[in-house]
Amino acid sequence: MMYHVACDARELAKNELPGTRIEIMDSYTATSSEGMIALVAARAAAENKDLAEVVRTAEEVRDEVSTIIFLDTIKHVYRSGRIPKVASQIGSVLKIKPLLTISKAVRFIGVVRNRKQGIERLIQMMREKVGASPIHASVTHAYAPEEAEKLKQRVASEFNCVELWLSEFSPVMGYACGTGTVGIAFYPDS
């Protein structure tokens, strides 16, 4: 949806900025992984790379970046339209805590029964993807700064981080995921 809004904005900008070339790229993701894509593009532009190379660099990171999110509760997810309200109510009663990934769409990739299991599974999935390779990473959260800081410290101690940030979900993501949500976005250093 945001991709289409950006395409519409480009069309409007053609009148205001004649002769300016604007490239639109769908990130296929959300949260801090979008920021990682934008940052690598900005770094390429700052190195005076031409627009085609900036876009190619951004696409390479887009194709490599992974996002794994642990929800402390499933009860708020229905607000995003991703699952029916009854499913979120049943999940809440059963105390199911989902793990999600975002790549072209939000996908459920597992469930756990408590936060400790969720964080362990998140770290395990991250380790399966990157092994000992150097990575760029970001820990993000929805109204859970202490939990996110603990996760950031763990990531820093267990992975070879070229850079590691701590960020908050946008208000819309926080609304859809609920308080206590934490996630990790990462990609291998090239």
Q: Domain spans of the chain? A: 2-63, 64-188
pLDDT at residue 100 is higher than 70: yes
Q: What is the pLDDT of residues 138-169, one digit of tens each?
A: 999 998 999 999 999 999 999 999 999 999 98
pLDDT of res. 110:
86
CA–CA–CA angle 160, 133, 48 (5° rounding): 90
pLDDT of residue 57: 97
pTM exceeds cut of 0.75: yes
Q: Between these two residues, 53 and 177, which has the higher pLDDT value?
A: 53
The pLDDT of residue 180 is 87
* One-letter amino acid for residue 107 of the chain: R
**CATH code, residues 64-188:** 3.30.1180.10
| Pair 154, 123: CB distance under 8 Å | yes
Mutual orientation of helices 115-130 and 145-158 as an angle, nearest 10°? 40
What does the pLDDT read at residue 87? 64
pLDDT tens, residue by residue, 17-67: 988 889 999 888 888 999 999 999 999 999 999 999 999 999 999 999 999
**Structure tokens of 133?**
């390779």
Strand ranges (E), 25-83: 66-70
Nearest Cα to Cα of residue 74 among 56, 87, 58? 87
pLDDT averaged over the chain?
88
